[in-house]
């Protein structure tokens, strides 16, 4: 749940990067951290809790501060979940208080079953938190487009973006920073629209 502090005029929003193991969630945060343009001093530190082989063990966390909008200083907290199937309890914990989601799918053809499974796991975990995906702003990212064995984006749309309301989706090659900011800009815009333009602020 976004925290809006009327006294300090700050809006704090939590975005979770979700998706199958090795899809590129951590890579997105690393690229955001390396390239984000902020005024001096407000770029947060990327905290990663990973194994020696770089698999996310608990989560990654990156706070970034955006410009003031309508007098509110906005702070985005970016988290990743561990994609490995066994870490489901951790995924549920990281999802608590989520405001927006970036689902990072792996475009390699042989990963389609894992993408679909991870997407259903997201819906299940939200349900366990009494949340409904339809009520949460989210975007899809089709990552690893540089690899030779990728599925057609239309096929990925058919598998992952076939609900009543379609959401924005982006092709990406995260380790080259392609598509990373397009994805982040869209989810932040959707969240700002929700919380500042239309939303009724809730005091912290």
Ligand X SMILES: Nc1nc2c(ncn2[C@@H]2O[C@H](COP(=O)(O)OP(=O)(O)OP(=O)(O)O)[C@@H](O)[C@H]2O)c(=O)[nH]1
Closest CB to Mg ion among residues 25, 145? 25
Nearest approach, Cβ of residue 33 and ligand X (Å): 12
Closest CB to Mg ion among residues 40, 86? 86
* Structural element, H or E, at residue 167: none
In sequence order, what are the residues at sequence separation of 6 or more whose Cβ sits closer than 8 angstroms to the Cβ of residue 141?
Answer: 19, 24, 28, 102, 103, 104, 105, 169, 170, 171, 172, 174, 179, 183
Describe the chain by its helix, strand, coil percentages, rounded to 5. Answer: 35, 30, 35
Asked whether 179 and 171 are in contact (CB, 8 A), the reply is yes
One residue of 3, 82, 140, 195 binding ligand X per CB under 6 A: 82
* Binding status of residue 108 toward ligand X by CB under 6 A: no
Asked whether 40 and 32 are in contact (CB, 8 A), the reply is no
* Binding status of residue 147 toward ligand X by CB under 6 A: yes
One residue of 34, 117, 124, 146 binding ligand X per CB under 6 A: 146
* Binding status of residue 25 toward ligand X by CB under 6 A: yes
* Binding status of residue 117 toward ligand X by CB under 6 A: no
- Applying CB under 6 A, which part among 48-56, 118-126, 134-142, 193-201 lies near ligand X? 48-56
């Amino acid at each position: 749940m976004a925290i809006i502090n009327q006294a300090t005029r700050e809006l704090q929003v939590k975005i979770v990067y979700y998706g199958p193991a090795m899809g590129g969630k951590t890579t997105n945060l690393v690229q955001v951290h390396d390239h984000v343009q902020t005024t001096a001093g407000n770029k947060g530190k990327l905290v990663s809790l990973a194994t020696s082989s770089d698999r996310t063990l608990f989560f990654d966390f990156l706070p970034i501060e955006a410009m003031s909008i309508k007098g509110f200083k906005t702070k985005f907290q970016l988290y990743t979940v561990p994609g490995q199937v066994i870490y489901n309890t951790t995924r549920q914990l990281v999802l608590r208080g989520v405001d927006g989601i970036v689902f990072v799918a792996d475009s390699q053809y042989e990963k389609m079953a894992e993408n679909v499974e991870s997407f259903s796991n997201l819906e299940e975990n939200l349900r366990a938190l009494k949340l409904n995906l339809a009520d949460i702003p989210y975007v899809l990212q089709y990552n690893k487009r540089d690899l030779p064995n990728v599925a057609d984006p239309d096929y990925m749309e058919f598998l992952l973006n076939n609900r009543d309301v379609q959401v924005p989706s982006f092709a990406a090659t995260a380790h080259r920073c392609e598509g990373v900011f397009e994805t982040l800009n869209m989810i932040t815009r959707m969240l700002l629209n929700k919380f500042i333009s239309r939303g009724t602020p809730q005091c912290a």
